[in-house]
Amino acid sequence: MAETPQPSAALPAPPKSMDEIMSLCKRRGFVFQASEIYGGINGFWDYGPLGAQLKKNLRDAWWDDVVMMPCWGRKGPTGDAVRTVPLDSCIIQNPKVWVASGHVAGFNDPMVDDKETKQRFRADHLQGLFGLLQQDTHGLARLVPTGGYIDGRTPVATVVASSQHEAFDLLSGDRKLQKAAGYSNLRYSSQSQMNETGGVHVFFEFRGQDAEGYVYGVDPEVMRNSPEQVPSPFTGKPGGLTAPRQFNLMFKTYIGATATEDDIAYLRPETAQGIFIHFKNVVDTTRVRIPFGIAQTGKAFRNEVTPRNFTFRSREFEQMEIEFFCHESEAMAWYAFWRDWRMEWWRSIGLGGGNLILREHERDELAHYSKATSDIEYRFPFTAPGYGELEGIAYRGCYDLQQHQEHSRVRLDYFDTERGEIGPNGQPKGERYLPHVIEPSAGLDRGVLALLCEAFTPDPARPSGVVMKFHPRVAPIKAAVFPLVNKDGMPEVADRLAADLSKRFARRGFIESDAKQSIGKRYARMDEAGCPFCFTVDGDSLTAHTVTVRDRDTLSQERIAIDKVCDYVGERLGEG
């Protein structure tokens, strides 16, 4: 037979193709398009048998290392072991939760942002100051288009106001704005009504020093198509505004069968808020003391404008979030601790190498409540040479607890008996405070996608052409057992070995046994599925009680005793 092929390590790594990765995901049952037989549904993906197990393994690894043995037993910056407790909160909560968190505000109308001042306002509240057209022989009628806006005209100045009247007041009271727009001394001239297009349109005309004009709503088409020409109401600079954007990113649903507007609820856009709203319950019931974390995994939903890049931006996705509560004075130390450990953790499950980076946010990138944020980013084939976010570690101050405290009117502060001045009895008097929060928030589906992309390794020297080099800890198939040929008692020995392996490892992943077709074909199938170890029962197995073990990554084979096989696998799965 052919010689053992050598891995083509000497050759430079061929570029990874997202198409090929997606094709393999479909072919081997890692990821399917949701509702595929009905034509699919944009932004939703399902996991096939291997993908479901891969995802579970990643989630379990996170749970083990975050909840059961936090940070691998490492001590935190305060010298104590890291403590976390788990939580599992509902996808649907009282809508007030999302009002408090800021997710509901202004989400039902197209919104415009000022890029410089970061102020956001409703697009239909942008009122413009327009000069009259030079040759306006047809009068104002020609300015009246459809929809109540002045079609296609660019204002020389803008203000945010809910009515033309208010807009005129603002404009006429702001000499600086007038001057910037080339006018001065604006005053009310007349109010005309038009009904050329069936509707009544009211113009607030004005007269300035040298010109006339009118105040009217800014055409959304203009804001959308040429935002670079629209002056900002805050800075007066043209181009300072974004185009109007729909921000209804939360999925709506109705509670109860009546489905009226009063019954509206939302699918959670993040799991984090479920943790914040139970902060007090957890403190009161579990004897945790600050510093400690609450961890949760679960589905979240966002009505993304543009789902794209395979599972990277999906409308339904799973998060793995920790909210770590600590005293403000120690928050930055904990922030650095979590940031660095999370980075180590992703490396430990196989995302080492140059594709993983830690990126500290610039100051102007930070949310207003955040004092520091960093992203752990992976270089996906579709982001290369750039990176895509896997996990964000944010120092959120006490913003979230404060918001919920205000909106719910329930005190969420914490009485820390280990702080405060030492009293006459030698005991600290205690300190009452709102804890500060470090939030390591990871995307499980993005993690799975990164594992798939990282594992995907084209190798022309192999019969399969590709090998999935999953870390054994996350590999969906942990081991495979093959009889070299299907006779001479080999299948029976193989069956017994597979049964032993299953007994010990089947809770962590599949144990495959396969007696069909040539041995090479079976190895090739396991390469594509990313099975790290293949044990082959041959003639010597019957007499010497040994099998060969083939290493997926090196293709090397060694012979080990049958009764050592389970320990061999156990060691490599990280059981020590």
Partner RNA sequence: GCGGGCGUAGCUCAGUGGUAGAGCAUCACGUUGCCAACGUGAGGGUCGAGGGUUCAAGUCCCUUCGCCCGCUCCA
Is 238 one of the binding residues for RNA (CB under 7 A)?
no
Is 5 one of the binding residues for RNA (CB under 7 A)?
yes
Is 242 one of the binding residues for RNA (CB under 7 A)?
yes
Of 49-57, 298-306, 408-416, 564-572, the window that binds RNA (rule: CB under 7 A) is: 298-306
| Least distance from RNA to the Cβ atom of residue 101, Å | 7
Q: Applying CB under 7 A, which of residues 82, 475, 484, 501 lies at the interface with RNA?
A: 484
Closer CB to RNA, 3 or 362, in the complex: 3
Q: Own/partner pairs for 401-410, CB < 8 Å, 24+ apart? A: 401/276, 401/279, 401/434, 401/435, 401/437, 402/434, 403/100, 403/101, 403/102, 404/97, 404/100, 404/101, 404/276, 404/277, 405/434, 406/100, 407/96, 407/99, 407/100, 408/96, 408/100, 408/277, 410/280
Closer CB to RNA, 317 or 337, in the complex: 317
Of 52-60, 126-134, 426-434, 547-555, the window that binds RNA (rule: CB under 7 A) is: 547-555
Is 397 one of the binding residues for RNA (CB under 7 A)?
no
Site map for RNA, 487-516, x if CB under 7 A? xx-x-------------------------x
Cis peptide before 440 (omega within 30 of 0): no
Residue numbers 75-114 binding RNA by CB under 7 A: 102-103, 113
Task: Answer for the pair 554, 492: CB distance below 8 angstroms, yes or no.
Answer: no
Give SS3 for 254: strand
459 backbone dihedrals φ, ψ, rounded to 5°: -150, 95
CB contact set of 35 (below 8 Å; sequence gap of 6+): 41, 44
Closer CB to RNA, 189 or 242, in the complex: 242
59 backbone dihedrals φ, ψ, rounded to 5°: -60, -45
Closer CB to RNA, 2 or 10, in the complex: 2
d(C-alpha 499, C-alpha 537), whole Å: 14
Is 545 one of the binding residues for RNA (CB under 7 A)?
no
Give SS3 for 310: coil
In the numeric block, which tokens belong to residue 279? 């902060």
**Position 15: which residue type?**
P
| DSSP H helices in 192-327 | 220-225, 272-276, 279-286
Of 32-40, 124-132, 175-183, 500-508, the window that binds RNA (rule: CB under 7 A) is: 32-40
The continuous run of DSSP H or E covering 546 comes out as strand 546-551
> Between vectors from CA 506 to CA 504 and to CA 508, what angle results, nearest 5°?
100
Is 1 one of the binding residues for RNA (CB under 7 A)?
yes
Q: Applying CB under 7 A, which of residues 16, 21, 43, 84 lies at the interface with RNA?
A: 43
Closer CB to RNA, 53 or 464, in the complex: 464
Closer CB to RNA, 85 or 91, in the complex: 91
Q: Applying CB under 7 A, which of residues 523, 532, 533, 565 lies at the interface with RNA?
A: 523
Site map for RNA, 453-482, x if CB under 7 A? ---------xxxx-----------------
CA-based radius of gyration for the chain:
31
Of 243-251, 397-405, 429-437, 501-509, the window that binds RNA (rule: CB under 7 A) is: 243-251
Torsion of CA 213, 214, 215, 221, to 10 degrees: -90
Question: By C-alpha distance, which of 370, 375, 368 is closest to 393?
Answer: 375
Is 367 one of the binding residues for RNA (CB under 7 A)?
yes
Closer CB to RNA, 420 or 520, in the complex: 520
Q: Applying CB under 7 A, which of residues 202, 336, 366, 555 lies at the interface with RNA?
A: 555
| Least distance from RNA to the Cβ atom of residue 30, Å | 12
CB contact set of 58 (below 8 Å; sequence gap of 6+): 349, 444, 447, 448, 451, 474
Q: Applying CB under 7 A, which of residues 293, 349, 536, 573 lies at the interface with RNA?
A: 536
In the numeric block, which tokens belong to residue 478? 């942990």
Interface contacts to RNA, rule CB under 7 A: 1-5, 18-19, 22-23, 26-27, 33, 39-43, 102-103, 113, 242-243, 245, 247, 249-250, 269-270, 302, 304-310, 313, 367, 382, 462-465, 484-488, 490, 516-521, 523-525, 527-528, 536, 538-539, 547-548, 550, 555, 557
